[in-house]
Amino acid sequence: MDQSKAEAKRPPYGIIAVLMIGAFIAFLNNTLLNIALPSIMKDLEIEASTVQWLTTGFMLVNGILIPLSAFLIQKFSVRQLFLAAMILFTLGTVLAGFAHAFPLLLTGRMTQAAGSAIMMPLLMNVMLTSFPVEKRGMAMGVFGLVLMFAPAIGPTLSGWIIEHYDWRMLFHFITPIAIVVVLIGFFLLKDKKGKVDIKLDFLSVILSSVGFGGLLYGFSSAGKDGWDSPKVYGTLAIGVIALVTFILRNLNQERPLLNFRIYKYPMFALSSAISMVVTMAMFSGMLLLPIYVQTIRGISPIDAGLLLLPGAIVMAIMMPITGKLFDKFGGRLLAIIGLSITVITSYLLSNLTLDMSYKHLIFLYTLRMFGMSMVNMPVTTNGLNQLPSRFYPHGTAMNNTMQQVSGAIGTALLVTVMTTRAKTHATELVAAAKAKMLSNPPTTAITEAMKLKMQHDIQMKAMLEGINDAFYVSVFIAGLALVLALFIKRAKQAEDPGEAKPAGNKVTAKLAEN
């Protein structure tokens, strides 16, 4: 009997391994595309405010679908969800690989997102239910190591592929791997789930989609259309109204689609807020640096990938170390140290120049990623540790939803800052150049080639200043997270209100467990 109990408590390593392979492919695909954005802009003749939709649109679909994950995890088996997710992801990859127009490429990316949206909440839920609180930090650290290996190799691999092949090869490269993962899941995952009496609240799904979708679309459109555009403030207003209605509806339901009552647990609420702010700051480096080094500096794609490689490797190596330190010291000390490093390096990156050395850029980005490696996983795990176990699906769904929403908003905000400030700086530089020419007329006639060079130099200088301004905004974003981190306390699992009821009422207890 003791042996059967031990087997029951043994984590399902086979299931976890298959899920990690699937999540790794999704993560690898995401990081592959970051380096490719300048090449896609050139090939499809689109602007930065348009190409960023490949990132924002991916997050938009995630932000809409992830709230459903709590319901899906309770309703279906791990096998069913994994296979459905990977098949969708594979179809999206094939579609994007054959795209010759931006709308088709975006459709492929959003189909990929529909598949990957369930992967992270599903894996996180399996991890939380498989390991006890005292071992969870180390387990999450190993989980982070596997997933951070994708960002470690993604940019360099992407740079090499783009330098030797067309950017579409990034998707063709992923397709056979994704098909193999589907086959592995089909033959190896054997778990079954009993019939669960739970129904989907379609009105909540609609409100959630309109709410999160409206917010993300509004923020994303601001970079191209401006904040004074009716399309921008109109969709933002609709999103806010729908989201407030969604929250109020779910607070008054016995079985909500997304349980906002989990925010009554203070450490979870705090960890969620910090994770959202850190995610916004993190995307500044991942998005702005590739544009800076390739568009402004003219550095090759493979060298741009190599620039990001050491930082990703450091982050991957630090994950299990950070997990072990979290089990010993808790999340507060790690978060404060990590965020302090992030604030300092973000400020240093807000002073980029046209001739900053390649090695200096590598050092700053690597140090920044080292700081961030001490924040996300410890803070998130500490918050989830306070939740009663039956709230884990809602906690993981909420965290992933908020991170996707904040990531998309952060991306849109920083691109908007970069774009609008670049236009402002360009106007100022043109005015300064004209004033200089009036006060000190050139002795020789200005040729057409000289005019084009002057325009190019002004454009590059203006974009550089726009990127610096965007990094400067990320300094304040990271600073806000640092202030919030001061209030972190080591979380203990709270008593489940469902389990606190009289033990004699087994029917009620069983309902609460589900």
| Residue-level pLDDT at 276 | 87
Residue 423: CB partners within 8 Å, gap ≥ 6?
A: 462, 466
Nearest to 27 by CA among 128, 185, 174: 174
Where do the structural domains in the chain lie, given as residue ranges? 2-200+257-513, 201-256
Whose structure tokens read 């509004």? 218
* pLDDT score at 92: 92
Please report the pLDDT score of residue 223 as a whole number: 61
Instruction: Quickly tell me which residue has 């190591």 as its tokens.
Output: 145
Looking at residue 12, its amino acid is P
Task: State the Cα–Cα distance between residues 398 and 419, nearest whole angstrom.
Answer: 31
pTM: 0.72
Q: How far apart are CA 318 and CA 315, in angstroms?
A: 5
Q: Under a CB-based contact definition with an 8 Å cutoff, are residues 365 and 293 in contact?
A: no
Taking the domain 2-200+257-513, which CATH number applies?
A: 1.20.1250.20
Residue 22 contacts residue 174 (beta carbons within 8 Å)? no
pLDDT means over runs of 10, the chain (514 residues): 45 74 79 78 80 76 75 80 90 90 90 83 74 67 68 74 85 90 83 67 85 79 73 89 90 81 90 87 74 81 77 80 83 92 92 88 90 85 85 80 76 81 86 78 68 79 89 90 90 67 40 38
Q: In this structure, are residues 109 and 96 in contact, taking their beta carbons and an 8 Å threshold?
A: yes
Closest residue by Cα to residue 40 from 217, 358, 301: 301
- Residue 392: partners with Cβ closer than 8 Å, 6 or more residues away: 125, 128, 129, 384
Scanning 165-201, the segments in alpha helix (DSSP H) are 169-188
Cα distance between residue 54 and residue 34, in whole Å = 9
Query: What's the token pair of residue 72?
Result: 């899906």
Residue type for position 187:
F
Q: Concatenated DSSP letters for 462-487?
A: HHHHHHHHHHHHHHHHHHHHHHHHTT
d(CA 423, CA 462): 7
CA atoms within 13 A on the CB side of 371: 24
pLDDT digits (tens, 9 = 90+) for 226-275: 777 888 889 889 999 998 998 898 888 877 877 888 888 999 999 999 98
Q: Are 157 and 32 in contact (CB under 8 A)?
A: yes
Measured CA to CA, the distance from residue 418 to residue 288 in angstroms comes to 9
Are the C-beta atoms of 464 and 297 separated by less than 8 Å? no
Rg (CA), the chain: 24
* pLDDT tens digits, 22-32: 888 877 777 77
Q: Is 298 left (phi over 0), alpha (psi -120 to 50) or beta?
A: left
Question: What six digits make up the tokens of 248?
Answer: 């109020």
For 451-464, give one letter per residue: b (16+ CB within 10 A) or e.
Answer: eeeeeeebbbbbbb
Question: What pLDDT is attached to residue 429?
Answer: 84
CA distance 458 to 471: 20
Query: CB burial class (10 A; 0-12, 13-18, 19+) of residue 193?
Result: middle
Question: Among residues 393, 389, 353, 507, which one has the least CA distance to residue 76?
Answer: 393
Angle at 328 between CA 333 and CA 2, to 5 degrees: 150
Maximum separation of any 2 CA atoms in the chain, in Å: 98
Can you tell me whether residue 418 is helix, strand or coil? helix
Give one word for 192, left, alpha or beta, with left for phi > 0 and alpha for psi -120 to 50.
Answer: beta
